[in-house]
Amino acid sequence: MKVLMVCLGNICRSPLAEGILKHKCKQQNLDWYVDSAGTGKWHLGSAPDVRSIKVAAKYGIDISEQRARSIRSTDYEEFDLIFAMDTSNFKDLKSWALDATEEMKIKLILDEVYPDELMSVPDPYFSDDGFEEVFQMLDKACDEIIKKYA
């Protein structure tokens, strides 16, 4: 299974989602390929936000080596599942899909925990205390992703 996690900047939420899912795959001996990307281009090549690095480290996950990149058209062919962190990322990703096969790969990540509620992982960039909550939401979602797709 090839899974892509997508947010706006690829420095706060999707690097955490990538790190958490990779960590769980390793623990469960799942041979999945996991990556992340942003819909925007402001932070290309940057390491994750220090607050994301910190909350991941608290749970024994090192995401410090990740570097931000933006989504590319080949991602739609390469990946089996593309998870958007919020409804805005979801809409953007859908609008760039070339056909129904590509479009069907795109999911809202919290639908895995709260189906059909259109819930978004809140963007923690402009807050200081949102990172723990984001971690917990993504941790739950990654458990469900493995349950459903492994």
Return the active site residues: 7, 13, 123
Span near ligand 4NP by CB under 6 A; candidates 11-19, 99-107, 108-116, 140-148: 11-19
In degrees and rounded to multiples of 5, residue 26 shows phi and psi of -65, -45
Q: Would you say 102 and 77 are in contact if contact means Cβ atoms under 8 Å apart?
A: yes
Which of 102, 106, 123, 137 lies at the binding interface for ligand 4NP (CB under 6 A)?
123
Does residue 130 interact with ligand 4NP by CB under 6 A?
Answer: no
Choose among 89, 112, 114: nearest CA to 12.
89
Please list every residue from 43 through 102 that binds ligand 4NP, using CB under 6 A: none
Does residue 12 interact with ligand 4NP by CB under 6 A?
Answer: yes
Least gap, CB of 25 to ligand 4NP (angstroms):
21
DSSP letter, residue 104: H
Does residue 125 interact with ligand 4NP by CB under 6 A?
Answer: yes
Locate 45 and state its tokens: 């090549």
Q: Would you say 35 and 44 are in contact if contact means Cβ atoms under 8 Å apart?
A: no
Locate 79 and state its tokens: 């990946």
Does residue 10 interact with ligand 4NP by CB under 6 A?
Answer: yes
In degrees and rounded to multiples of 5, residue 25 shows phi and psi of -60, -40
Query: Which parts of this chain interact with ligand 4NP (CB under 6 A)?
Result: 7-13, 42, 123, 125
